[in-house]
Homo-oligomer: A and B are copies of this chain.
Amino acid sequence: MTDSALDQQCVATVRMLAAEAVEQANSGHPGMPLGAAPMAWALWSRFLRHDPAGPRWPGRDRFILSAGHGSALLYALLHLTGYELPLEELKNFRQWGSRTPGHPEYGHTPGVEATTGPLGQGFSMGVGMALAERMLAQEFNRPGHDVIDHHIYAIVSDGDLMEGVASEAASLAGHLNLGKLVYLYDDNRITIEGGTELAFTEDVSLRFAAYGWQVLRVHDGEDVEVIAAAIAEARADGARPSLIMVRTVIGQGSSKAGTSHVHGAPLGREELLAMRRRLGWSDEPFHIPEAVGAHTRQALTRGAEQRREWEGRLAAYRQDHPAEGARLEARLKGEFLPAGWDAALLALDFGGKATATRVASGKALNALAPAVEGLVGGSADLAPSNNTWLTTVAAGRNLRFGVREHAMAAMVNGMALHGGFLPYCATFLVFSDYMRGAMRLSAIMGTPVVYVLTHDSIAVGEDGPTHQPIEHLASLRAMPELRVIRPADAGETVGAWHVALTHAGPTCLILSRQNLAPLGADPLRVAQGAYVVSDPPMGDPELILLATGSEVELAMKSQQALALKGRRARVVSMPCWELFDEQSVEYRESVLPPSIKARVGIEAGASLGWHRWVGEGGVILALDRFGASAPGGEVMKRLGFSVENVVAQAEALLNR
């Protein structure tokens, strides 16, 4: 068989495997795999440096299927090239317990570099990966030692390019000259509702040129060689990211090719049979021609070689640069916290002064950064307000995302997935709304990223309702696998950073704009989620004031005012509901004894979720309305967050 004929056979095999998996599941998206198989094959057979037998080596190229609905394409390639993904898994496509879920899931299937499906996310995570590659290379490469040198590839779709998150990331990728980024655009002119002329007629090529990308075109998406030549040209430009616009036909090879009907539904048995006939294919389901199997599995030997070659490069680097080599290896292994990493953090002294938790967070970050070398991050153009700028280390560890919250969050996901970095990012809490799509992927994938979310309540003040979060605490707490920590003072902020950096998943730090009085508690008690800050000096408590963040100070003052009236209140700080949930029943009942029914929950945010803590005998002082523009202290008082009101509510409870 000629090389070209073998290529055609490989492409056909990918197509048939994907179509059959969808058929077997009676669910899925055949159109994209059928159309994009040649470009995927061109990339995987000619360029992608990967080792199916050892898929996690840091020197590998990264491949992202941003158009995640085409998962069957990726699973076919993974199986054919020898990943731990038996044919049985393709037959179990989209079934309970299989490794072949409907959309690719990171951590679930070997060789899947990112969870994709929500459009635009894969595109943007790739930009984060390319940034991580560049930053690692700049930090560690030495003359004669290009130990970090790999590419980030993706297949992206019309849908990806329409999403705002991808526009933001593309603009930033161009700004940052991320030349290692090579994206193949599956330009099939079809969306779910019909042709792209219905809603997508912009000049994509011109737009990406405006961002500073190299834009290349392949007019025939069936031509593996021409696609390969374009990829080579893209790689040759090290100064600009590249978008290769590959004109394809969705559902190529089926009779519904070129229509939206082939996007998201199985082809049907008959159509599949017809395709088999046209290709001269065996009737055996999930058939893989022998020559194809042998050829595609060369990825194993090629990949093993590439991996060994890179390991050799790493060894040579370690020999010539032992200190850097050791640091690099630790970073690549995800070992970010050397012995004593938290010494400077825990030694922070705020002099007993009232401090905004955003300011305390800035100090914590700067105390951490010298020891935690992988810690990098930045803000969506709010660094001076978010207090996220690192001054204690090289300026290059600060990232500037511009006013692009969604791309920022997706990019830190990409950086965390890439490895070598423990990234954080920042904006106002209210604008977490702009990046929830990416935050959800942090939670699903378990990426260890830190979201620094400041200006956390109506106490923001003058900026008014558009800038005052209300529902955000509740809506973030509702998300599984996401830790939400709202520290009550500088000390708890230190504890919150400690907890965040030792957690193998995403954490939100919810921080105040305004100064908060110190509680004097052990910062590490944050790890318990909630704890008793203060009990009445004499006698057992008859009432519990539960609060988070800035409202703990209000609870403390209210406790004193109540004491003057002979009322015995306990103050509980609840910085993190998720962590409190993880404690033993004994501990939880020691903090919130079932016998004390009189409870006041205090939080300047939505009441949703608080009934759980205050029970039927308690009251909630919260906000189920939007805020207002006025000085922060005044807004707080006007909306009920005053000692007078807490005392009144507590007394009413006790007298009930």
Contact = CB atoms under 8 A, between A and B. Distances in A.
Contacts of A210: 202-207, 209-210
Interface string A590-625: 000000000000000010110110011000000111
Contacts of A209: 203, 206, 210
Contacts of A144: none
A480 interface: yes
Contacts of A103: 463-464, 466-467, 629
A337 interface: no
A310 to B, nearest CB: 32
Given A164-B165, A201-B175, A105 B206 contact: no
A158 B404 CA distance: 11
Contacts of A443: 626
Contacts of A612: 611
A477 B474 CA distance: 9
B606 A608 contact: no
Contacts of A433: 118, 436-437, 440
A163 B168 contact: yes
Nearest to A605: B478
B400 A193 contact: yes
A193 B474 contact: no
Which range holds the interface residue count of chain A? 35 or more
A379 interface: yes
A626 B192 contact: no
A208 to B, nearest CB: 8
Interface stretch (A93-101, A363-371, A416-424, A540-548): A93-101
A471 B480 contact: yes
A615 B611 CA distance: 8
Contacts of A204: 210
Contact of A199 (B115, B381, B440, B606): B381
B403 A191 contact: yes
A571 B542 CA distance: 37
A642 to B, nearest CB: 14
A171 B200 contact: yes
B117 A158 contact: no
Nearest to A166: B164
Interface string A435-478: 01100110110000000000000000111111100110011111
A402 B206 contact: no
A192 B383 CA distance: 8
Interface stretch (A127-135, A230-238, A325-333, A630-638): A630-638
Given A209-B206, A212-B202, A612-B611, A462 B28 contact: yes
A389 B487 CA distance: 48
A171 B174 CA distance: 19
A54 interface: no
Contact of A96 (B382, B407, B630): B630
A101 B437 CA distance: 30
A95 B626 CA distance: 16
A192 B385 contact: yes
A149 interface: no
A109 to B, nearest CB: 11
A148 interface: no
A628 B403 contact: no
Contacts of A629: 94-96, 98, 101-103, 105
Nearest to A207: B210
A481 interface: yes
A156 to B, nearest CB: 12
Contact of A471 (B119, B174, B381, B479): B479
Interface of A: 25, 27-28, 68, 94-98, 101-103, 105, 115-119, 158-159, 162-168, 171-172, 174-175, 191-193, 198-207, 209-212, 379, 381-385, 400-404, 406-407, 430-431, 433-434, 436-437, 440-441, 443-444, 461-467, 470-471, 474-481, 606, 608-609, 611-612, 615-616, 623-626, 628-631, 634-635, 638
14 contacts: A27-B462, A96-B635, A103-B629, A118-B434, A159-B403, A164-B164, A167-B167, A172-B199, A192-B384, A206-B207, A431-B437, A470-B480, A475-B478, A609-B609
Q: Which 3 A-B pairs have the closest CB atoms?
A: A164-B164, A475-B475, A101-B629
